[in-house]
Amino acid sequence: MAETIQADDVVDPLGAEEAEPRADQPELRAPGERWKRVGFLTCLTAGALIFLFPFYYMIVGALQTEPNPDVSGAFPDPSNLTLDNFVDINTALNLPRALLNSGIFTAGVILGTLVIGLLAGYALAQLEFRGRGFVFSAMLIVLIVPFQLLMIPLYVMIVRWYGLADTHLGMILPFAVNATAVFVFRQFFMQIPKDVFDAARIDGASELQILMRVAIPISKPALLTAVLVTFIGPWNEFLWPFLITKETDMQPLAVALANYISNVAARAANPFGAILAGATVLAIPAVVLFLAFQRKFVQAHLGSSVK
């Protein structure tokens, strides 16, 4: 058999290197270019600060003993800072258990999406088969129809017909394959020239081999995007797990926090702070995940294999 396409030909080993400085280095020596760069960085920084500000305010608010809704609240008085709101959360909820449930729920959804979604996205993009248009339309329909409309029949179905109340599977099922991720996979694979795959076919590789040896290796950016995108849904999802699980030790973090918030809201010295503390706790794992994964977005050198 002729040499099969090796993944190495197509992309850099990921995660091992940061992108090298771009070829625009020589331009920097020209004085006009330096100003442009300064301007560019300033804009970017200003934008980043604007984006960060509400998040910063959220953390500040979570750390306050007394809420300060005035403008000065953005720059808090150090004597007003406390970790009480966070401590309260830890005592009120079974944090490890809730995290575990969130983890299982989210992992299940990610697994389903990556496996089933990648297959479907790849097939939609690069394979011609009967029913392709139908699958694509079905995916769009699922994306378009809002959850509120489907919620009750879905609940009836999963609880009564499938008997999955108070189970992790029952929580996972409606979200098991994230339609947005399927769409992302499809668009991603559509961007790859057909020739890459046809070359492998000419070499006699079977479709399955092409999938495993060509498609999947080059799909790393799409996989990472899919993980980061799919993660948020189940992680922050409140209503569905709340409906499905009535046992408190089955409830994921978002539900436990929501319970805590409505519980605490009227009583705490700083109810707003409690809400913000809860939201911060919820956001941290997502941020950590992102920080870990975003390094993998590295420029690929795709051109060579096509020629």
> 3-state class of 79 per DSSP?
helix
Return the residues of window 87-116 that contact other proteins according to CB under 8 A.
Answer: 112, 115-116
Candidates 4, 7, 65, 67; binder of other proteins (CB under 8 A) is 67
Q: How many CA atoms lie within 13 A of 259 on its CB side?
A: 19
Q: Select 104 or 165, whichever has its Cβ closest to other proteins.
A: 165
**What is the per-residue burial (b if ≥16 Cβ within 10 Å, else e) of 23-51?**
eeeeeeeeeeeeeeeeeeeeeeeeeeeee
Candidates 89, 93, 110, 139; binder of other proteins (CB under 8 A) is 139
Verify binding: residue 154, other proteins, rule CB under 8 A: yes
Verify binding: residue 167, other proteins, rule CB under 8 A: no
Distance CA(84)–CA(161), nearest Å, equals 45
Mark 238-277 with x for binding to other proteins (rule: CB under 8 A) and - for no binding: -x--xx--x-x-----x---xx-xxx--xx---xx--xx-
Return the residues of window 25-64 that contact other proteins according to CB under 8 A.
Answer: 36, 40-41, 44-45, 47-49, 51-52, 54-55, 57-58, 61
Distance CA(259)–CA(93), nearest Å, equals 9
Q: Are 251 and 168 in contact (CB under 8 A)?
A: no
What is the per-residue DSSP string for 168-192?
A: HHHHHGGGSS-HHHHHHHHHHHHHS
Distance CA(113)–CA(118), nearest Å, equals 7
- Rounded to the nearest whole angstrom, what is the least distance from the CB of residue 188 to other proteins in the complex? 6
- Rounded to the nearest whole angstrom, what is the least distance from the CB of residue 187 to other proteins in the complex? 4
Q: Are 182 and 121 in contact (CB under 8 A)?
A: yes
Return the residues of window 112-131 that contact other proteins according to CB under 8 A.
Answer: 112, 115-117, 119-120, 122-124, 127-131
Return the residues of window 278-297 that contact other proteins according to CB under 8 A.
Answer: 278-280, 282-283, 286-287, 290-291, 294-295, 297
- Choices 1-9, 76-84, 100-108, 178-186; region in contact with other proteins by CB under 8 A: 178-186
Return the residues of window 180-219 that contact other proteins according to CB under 8 A.
Answer: 180, 182-184, 187-188, 190-192, 194-195, 198, 201-202, 207-208, 211
Candidates 89, 171, 177, 205; binder of other proteins (CB under 8 A) is 177
Q: Are 197 and 126 in contact (CB under 8 A)?
A: yes
Among 244, 231, 248, smallest CA distance to 291 is for 231
Find how far residue 15's CA is from the centre of its chain: 19
**What is the per-residue burial (b if ≥16 Cβ within 10 Å, else e) of 203-239?**
eebeeebbbebbbebbbbbbbbbbbbebbebbbbbbe
Q: Select 99 or 232, whichever has its Cβ closest to other proteins.
A: 232
- Choices 1-9, 79-87, 98-106, 154-162; region in contact with other proteins by CB under 8 A: 154-162
Candidates 3, 13, 22, 79; binder of other proteins (CB under 8 A) is 22
Candidates 71, 75, 78, 96; binder of other proteins (CB under 8 A) is 71
Verify binding: residue 24, other proteins, rule CB under 8 A: yes
